[in-house]
Amino acid sequence: MGRSPCCDKNGVKKGPWTAEEDQKLIDYIRFHGPGNWRILPKNAGLQRCGKSCRLRWTNYLRPDIKRGRFSFEEEETIIQLHSVMGNKWSAIAARLPGRTDNEIKNHWNTHIRKRLVRSGIDPVTHSPRLDLLDLSSLLGVIFNQQNFTSVATHASSLLNPDLLRLASLLLPLQNPNPTYASNLGQNLQTPITSSESSQPQTESTTTPTNNNEISSFQPMNPRLDDVGPADVLPPLSESTFDLDSLMSTPMSSPQQNSIEAEEANPSSFFDFGFPDDFILDDFMF
DNA sequence: AAGCCGATCAACCGCAATGTT
DNA sequence: CAACATTGCGGTTGATCGGCT
């Protein structure tokens, strides 16, 4: 596995590690402990750079590494943590004893990410994807509702905030009644900006402002009834609304839309519940 | 049997963060 | 405080494997 030795510049070997090299590294670290990776290869008699030694040790040779397939529970944990932290693989790995950041990252990219996409979940935002939702039926419901707030509240639990913005954009075009539009402006609000929605989620966008202790985790699509009146829906324009980011992906077949049949395991992708004693601070480094 | 191709994952690279002088 | 060194992290690459035709 891995790359073949592609160069031997300055006597520094690259590529896959041999069993002999592994043993040298293990023996050295057993005796001296890890640390000062720069001088380690020289002292250990390895023709590797310190960086390569550190990577080999932390990702493969460390005795506390758990190898083998990820359990269902581990995958669920990764999904939940990723929805909070984004691509902070080291932080996620710190919550999964025996797993390395590299291993988790690989597993995410090769398994979990694809699973989410197949299930109609955007692996970046952890929200249902616009191109996999029946927007016309959603708008149909909205247009026929007198009580717009209730509709928005129900829809918001499932929808990407960008989708709601799109709805607010389309609404005035189809219904001249300005009441709907103003209600949209007041109710369909979200702290996630359109530009943020296309970026990996980071702590800064998910950390509660005043209370770091949360009893129920809210995924990327926050409920509208939690939004305060001060949060004004940003004006929707082509410059701020990244429709392409929602529409450009190829997995848009309605046949692939349903979350149900795809997975043998009834993974609770929409259910990001955390225990009451969950403390977000523990995840922030 | 042979070739193709997608999946997997160890390892590399570049950069940012942190520590030291 | 600046400059340099070291460490850590995330993205990406590419060799290998296994299934399919």
Q: Which residues of chain A have pLDDT under 70?
A: 1-11, 129-285
The domain tally of chain A equals: 2
Model-level pTM?
0.56
The token duo for A148 is: 């717009």
Say how far A128 CA is from B18 C1', in Å: 38
Domain finish residue from A26, A41, A61? A61
Domain of residue A49, CATH code: 1.10.10.60
Bridge partners (DSSP) listed for residue A213 = A279
Query: Of chain A residues 141-160, which have a beta carbon within 7 Å of strand B?
Result: none
Measured CA to CA, the distance from residue A187 to residue A183 in angstroms comes to 6
The Cα–Cα gap between A247 and A130 comes to 7
Query: How many C-beta atoms lie closer than 10 Å to residue A246's C-beta?
Result: 23
Q: Is residue A236 located within the same domain as residue A156?
A: yes
Asked if residue A47 is part of any domain, the answer here is yes
pLDDT of residue A167: 44
A2 CB and strand C closer than 7 A: yes
Domain-located, residue A195: yes
Per-residue model confidence (pLDDT) at position A198: 35
Residue A277 lies in a domain: no
At residue A77, the pLDDT reads 87
**A111 CB and strand B closer than 7 A:** yes
- Asked if residue A14 keeps its beta carbon closer than 7 A to nucleic acid strand C, the reply is no
Does residue A111 form part of some domain? no
Query: CA A200 – C1' B3 distance (Å)?
Result: 40
Residue A131 is predicted with a pLDDT of: 57
The verdict on residue A28 lying in a domain is yes
Does residue A67 form part of some domain? no
Is A184 within 8 Å of A245 (Cβ atoms)? no
Task: Give the structural domain span for A13.
Answer: 9-61
Pair (A51, A141) in one structural domain: no
CB under 8 Å to A132, separation ≥6 — which residues? A120, A251, A252, A254, A256, A257
Which residue's CA shows the smallest distance to C1' of B11? A2
The answer to whether residue A13 is domain-embedded is yes
A69-102 confidence digits (pLDDT tens): 888 888 888 988 888 888 888 888 888 888 888 8
Structure confidence by residue, pLDDT tens digits, A181-196: 333 333 333 333 333 3
